[in-house]
């Protein structure tokens, strides 16, 4: 085979499994799947992303099955490969390839990598036994809540406490791949016109929310008509509610000047852009990380929008604030991301129970630091992409209890990740509280 033919040939499944297992091992060591995938060889990347996400969605089941097959876990690289194969093959209806093919190729992957060569025979024995006894082994793991729900036990317990009527539906929704939802830049095009343009290009979609369209099937962003022109942006339906909610709380437009708004944790710039698409406003966009600030700039440039981008800690106004009060503040605070697990399945395995309290303390610090920067009569929209009440309802209630000048305006509160076949109602998990500052 010529070199050119080799370069264009589709990668072998064993190569994809090898890279996927390396990704599973990296997540177990605390690395994010987004960063891992970005470093995968280009020709392998789409296949590895699909297999890695599915492996992470069923890692709880796979780890329990491995414990049935081996009393002691093999070295980390071999264990990751074994669990990857089990996660992909444990349920025949869900398997991306025939289970026998997955097993054969996983063993081949073990033989071809120095870190797993010594355990290739062990992996082969475990996986062959799994194929022979699959139904019995799966049944034995069913009573394990981590295997059944594919979430850490502390996470399951937290949802049972916070949402006793909906915790099962939330966990089930987390196992579904999220849809690809885009926000239409209505400053430049109507939703109906863009939807019609997509339909002509063979991209069916459904309206969602006020400004969104959800595609029937995901597509690379640069293949979506209008994306490179700045006519639309990828943004989940729940996140699209932020800018309209803040805009709805603003009162009579200030005379002689534009609205002065702050997006306090702005990267990658989706909500900043949405504010600018909806309002004639002067927007300050903050983020503590320089690389993430660069991404805000790229987002706004593609959409032909402008904001005052500053690299700073929103919780330390003395380092960046010029003393002029804001009419509106959007605080999309750092959180556990427990509401976007279907979109980022690694999050459940990266978080620890202690993270909830630590992040709640950071959220409280940001609220306390930003509230004095708001005009009397102005509004602050507090939001997190979390379904845990400590980061949502409890956080807002604590703030209201300690700030008598704060009034809770109508807001949706906790939004749950959808479990529905109707994509027009599909959304991630989020929390929203719109707080008004009393005064003249």
Burial of 164 (0-12, 13-18, 19+ CB in 10 A): exposed
Query: HEC states along 12-79?
Result: CHHHHHHHHHHHHHHHHCCCCHHHHHHCCCCCCHHHHHHHHHHHHHCHHHHHHHHHHHCCCCCCHHHH
Pairwise CA distance, residues 263 & 284, whole Å: 6
Do residues 433 and 413 touch, judged by C-beta distance below 8 A?
yes
CB within 8 A of 333, min separation 6: which ones? Answer: 264, 265, 362, 363, 366, 367, 382, 383, 384, 391
Pairwise CA distance, residues 345 & 343, whole Å: 6
Q: Give the sheet arrangement for strand 212-215, strand by strand.
A: 205-208, 212-215, 181-184, 232-234
Q: What are the DSSP E strand ranges found in 49-176?
A: none
Give the tokens for residue 112: 């071809």
Give the tokens for residue 22: 């390396």
Do residues 381 and 433 touch, judged by C-beta distance below 8 A?
yes
- To the nearest 10 degrees (0 to 180), the angle between helices 99-111 and 120-141 is 140
Maximum CA pair distance of the chain?
Answer: 78
Give the tokens for residue 227: 């994306």
Collapsing DSSP to helix, strand or coil, 208 comes out as strand
**385 in active site:** yes
* 268: preceding bond cis by omega (within 30 degrees): yes
In the set 126, 293, 383, 385, the catalytic residue is 385
Pairwise CA distance, residues 98 & 321, whole Å: 59
Q: What are the DSSP E strand ranges found in 100-240?
A: 181-184, 205-208, 212-215, 232-234
Beta partners for 432?
Answer: 383, 413
Give the tokens for residue 105: 């190729």
CB within 8 A of 147, min separation 6: which ones? Answer: 60, 61, 63, 64, 65, 141
Catalytic site residues? Answer: 385
């Amino acid at each position: 085979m010529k070199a050119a033919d080799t370069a264009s040939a589709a990668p072998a499944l064993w190569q994809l499994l090898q890279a996927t297992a390396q990704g599973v091992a990296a997540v177990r060591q605390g690395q994010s799947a987004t960063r891992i995938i970005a470093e995968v060889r280009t020709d392998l990347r789409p296949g590895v992303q699909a297999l890695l996400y599915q492996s992470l969605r069923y890692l709880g089941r796979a780890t329990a099955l491995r414990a049935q097959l081996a009393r002691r876990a093999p070295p980390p690289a071999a264990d990751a490969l074994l669990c990857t194969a089990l996660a992909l093959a444990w349920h025949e209806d869900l398997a991306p390839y025939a289970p026998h093919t997955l097993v054969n190729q996983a063993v081949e992957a073990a033989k071809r990598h120095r870190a797993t060569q010594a355990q290739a025979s062990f992996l082969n024995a475990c996986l062959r036994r799994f194929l022979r006894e699959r139904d019995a082994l799966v049944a034995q793991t069913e009573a394990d809540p981590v295997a059944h729900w594919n979430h850490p036990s502390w996470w399951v317990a937290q949802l049972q406490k916070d949402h006793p009527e909906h915790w099962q539906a939330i966990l089930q929704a987390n196992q579904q791949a999220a849809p690809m939802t885009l926000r239409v830049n209505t400053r430049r095009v109507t939703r109906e016109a863009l939807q019609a343009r997509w339909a002509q290009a063979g991209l069916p979609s459904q309206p969602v929310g006020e400004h969104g369209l959800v595609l029937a099937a995901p597509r690379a962003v640069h293949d979506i008509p209008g994306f490179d022109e700045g006519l639309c942006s990828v943004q989940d339906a729940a996140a699209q509610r932020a800018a309209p909610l803040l805009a709805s709380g603003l009162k009579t437009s200030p005379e002689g000047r534009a609205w002065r708004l702050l997006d306090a944790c702005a990267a990658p710039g989706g909500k900043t852009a949405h504010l600018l698409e909806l309002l004639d406003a002067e927007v300050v966009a903050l983020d503590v990380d320089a690389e993430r600030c660069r991404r805000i700039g790229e987002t706004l440039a593609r959409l032909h929008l402008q904001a005052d981008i500053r690299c700073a800690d929103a919780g330390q106004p003395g380092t960046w604030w010029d003393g002029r009060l804001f009419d509106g503040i959007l605080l999309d605070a750092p959180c556990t991301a427990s509401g976007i697990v279907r979109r980022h399945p690694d999050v459940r395995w990266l978080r620890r129970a202690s993270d909830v309290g630590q992040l709640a303390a950071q959220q409280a610090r940001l609220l306390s630091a930003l509230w004095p920067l708001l005009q009397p009569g102005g509004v602050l929209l507090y939001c997190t992409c979390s379904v845990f009440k400590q980061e949502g309802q409890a956080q807002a209630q604590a703030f209201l209890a300690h700030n008598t000048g704060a009034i809770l305006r109508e807001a949706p509160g906790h939004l749950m990740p959808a479990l529905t076949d109707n994509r027009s109602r599909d959304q991630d998990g989020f929390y929203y509280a719109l707080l008004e500052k009393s005064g003249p």
